[in-house]
Amino acid sequence: MSGIFQIVSYEGDNSTFIWKSPVEDFNTGTQLLVHESQEAIFFMNGQALDLFGPGRHTLETQNIPLIRKWLNKPTNDQTPFHCEVYFINKTEQMAIKWGTDSHVQYMEPTYKFPLKIGASGEMSLRADDSRKLLVKLVGTEKSLSQAGLTQMFRAFLMARIKPYLARIMQNNEFGIFEVDSHMGKLSDALHEQLIPDFADYGIALERFFVTTIVKPDGDKAYESFKDIHIRQYADVANAQLRQQVGIIDQQTSAQRMVIESAALAQKRAQEGYDYQSERAYDVAEKIAQNEGVGNFSNAGIGLGMMGGVAGGMGAVVAGITTDALNPAVPPPNSGNSSDDIALFKQKIEKLNLMKDAGMLTSEEFEQEKKRILSSL
């Protein structure tokens, strides 16, 4: 080789983890360029000796301390030793797909039946320990791409992820019918379990996501428990809905009653009477329908009460005392016969109805009752 120094730099892409420079057996004084997020490892005679970080480095005996005892400056500054440089890309490489190659069997924690599922997702990796990654995985290969690393780790990942997935879902009671709402927790738990396994190869598992759980649709046992699960929550939701509808109906009925009462009160106010007067009308109608009242001459108390509704309580009392209840004008055929006694009894009963309706006070009732009794 010529005595002119050479430049060694990274020429791979961002999807490459490790790239070997084609420049080999370079002279002392060769320039090594290492970019940010990269490291370079110097090999001599098959041994990884020095690790270089970002920056410009001159490959001389004074800055390659581990080979200082072997290197002598020969003629034309050529080294008799075989030298190589590997570049390690330390950027985080994302969106690396993963997926189980067969079903994972576990005992469903909610309904306690055996179940087979699959899983898939994405992860992001970063070269962490350059020397360990290079020695354990690359060897004498010229490069290690993202696809190559994924292929290398496929069997390894399946061997780890299947038992982890089954154990985590069972221990954390992630029911198959609610697992979609626990994807974050499931991803975090698997991530934590897998970190030491990747670190053993010098790789940092930066992120790990479970994006899909493949459920055994069509399986008889699965479909049976799925139907039970759906009906369980559907029945609860239906009961709650019926309860809410019942409450709404009760509120509506109560509001309707308030509106009707307000309308009735307004009607009474417009027609000039109140609830007490309306009750008096009812009592009068009951008296008028009394079979014991033979004719209009014997129903004077009823007519008097109706007059009382129209013209006031005084007219009611007047109607009573003027007609049938006035002891000064005894009824025809007054002879204290049994018919007369029955007639007086009816009058007292009617007076009692008027008192109950609020048309007579207790004192007025007693006074009229005494007058009737005194006429016997």
Tens digit of each residue's pLDDT (9 = 90 or more) over 140-149: 778 888 888 8
Checking DSSP bridges between strand 143-145 and strand 16-20, what pairing results, if any? antiparallel
- Give the pLDDT band (50/70/90) at residue 69: very low
Over the chain, what is the mean pLDDT? 76
User: What pLDDT is recorded for position 157?
Assistant: 87
Residue with tokens 């014997």: 298
pTM (2 d.p.):
0.55
Q: Which of 210, 217, 216 is nearest to 120 (CA)?
A: 210
165-196 confidence digits (pLDDT tens): 988 888 887 788 888 888 999 999 999 999 99
- Give the pLDDT band (50/70/90) at residue 114: confident
User: What pLDDT is recorded for position 128?
Assistant: 93
Name the token pair of 338.
């049994």
Q: Work out the number of other CB atoms within 10 angstroms of the CB of residue 73.
A: 12
Highest mean pLDDT, choosing among 12-21, 241-250, 328-337: 12-21
- Give the pLDDT band (50/70/90) at residue 277: low
User: What pLDDT is recorded for position 205?
Assistant: 95
246-269 confidence digits (pLDDT tens): 788 888 888 888 888 787 777 767
Cα 340–300–358 angle (5° rounding)? 105
Name the token pair of 99.
């997926």
Residues 6+ apart with CB under 8 A from 320: 300, 301, 304, 305, 351, 368
Residue with tokens 């993963």: 98
pLDDT greater at residue 158 or residue 314? 158
Backbone phi and psi for residue 358, each to the nearest 5 degrees, phi listed first: 85, 10
Asked if 21 and 27 touch (Cβ cutoff 8 Å), the reply is no
Would you say residue 103 has pLDDT above 90? no
What is the C-alpha separation between 222 and 224, in angstroms, rounded? Answer: 5
80-102 confidence digits (pLDDT tens): 567 889 999 999 998 899 998 88
10-42 confidence digits (pLDDT tens): 988 888 999 999 888 777 778 899 999 899 998
